[in-house]
Amino acid sequence: MAPFYAITLVPVVTLCLAIYRFWACARRLSPEYYRELLRRAPLMRSLDVVAIGMAAFTAYYAAMGWFGFTLPFIDEEPLPPWMNIILSAVTSIACIGIVWTNAPNRFTQPTWGGMRESVVRTLAALRIIEATEVAHALDIINARKAHK
């Protein structure tokens, strides 16, 4: 069972490191850019926290399967091995799915320089999206004024 737990832990640990690097690089740019990122994409950080929570559950169920480790407020005794395997796989897939739907293009270059570039790319994309939405709204307003 140990190889299976390793297979579920490796991707979620890698994703958690990438999430940490992204937000660390976002904090290092400047306070204005960081606040702008949080303002333009408020769910990005929240979904990253949920993904890290799913990764923590993957590690918890792997530790329960390997060592019989339990937390008293979650489980009083270790679960059966088949249930640990299923829960570890489900939480791992949930973590990967949340990160994939949140913003998959943030983690294409996992180096520190690539993460800084990713933060700037994300901010630029959010600015372009907002400018496009504003331009479309102005087109609709102008079309209604011309129609009247």
In terms of Cα–Cα distance, which of 106, 18, 1 is closest to 55?
Answer: 18
The residue type found at 101 is T
Instruction: Note the pLDDT of residue 12.
Output: 93
Question: How confident is the model over 96-127, as pLDDT tens digits?
Answer: 999 989 877 777 766 777 778 888 888 888 89
Q: Reply yes or no on whether the pLDDT at 94 is more than 90.
A: yes
From the list 102, 92, 2, the residue with the least C-alpha distance to 42 is: 102
Name the residue with tokens 């069972």: 1
- Mean pLDDT, the chain, as a whole number? 87
- pLDDT-derived band at 13, boundaries 50, 70, 90: very high
Its pTM stands at 0.79
Specify the 3-state DSSP secondary structure of 67: helix
Read off the pLDDT of each residue in 128-133 and give the average, rounded to a whole number. Answer: 91
Handedness of CA 135, 38, 48, 114 (dihedral sign): positive
Q: Can you tell me the distance from the alpha carbon of 114 to that of 73, in angstroms, rounded to the nearest whole number?
A: 40
Looking at residue 30, the DSSP 8-state letter turns out to be: -
Question: Between these two residues, 76 and 132, which has the higher pLDDT value?
Answer: 132
Domain map of the chain by residue range? 2-147
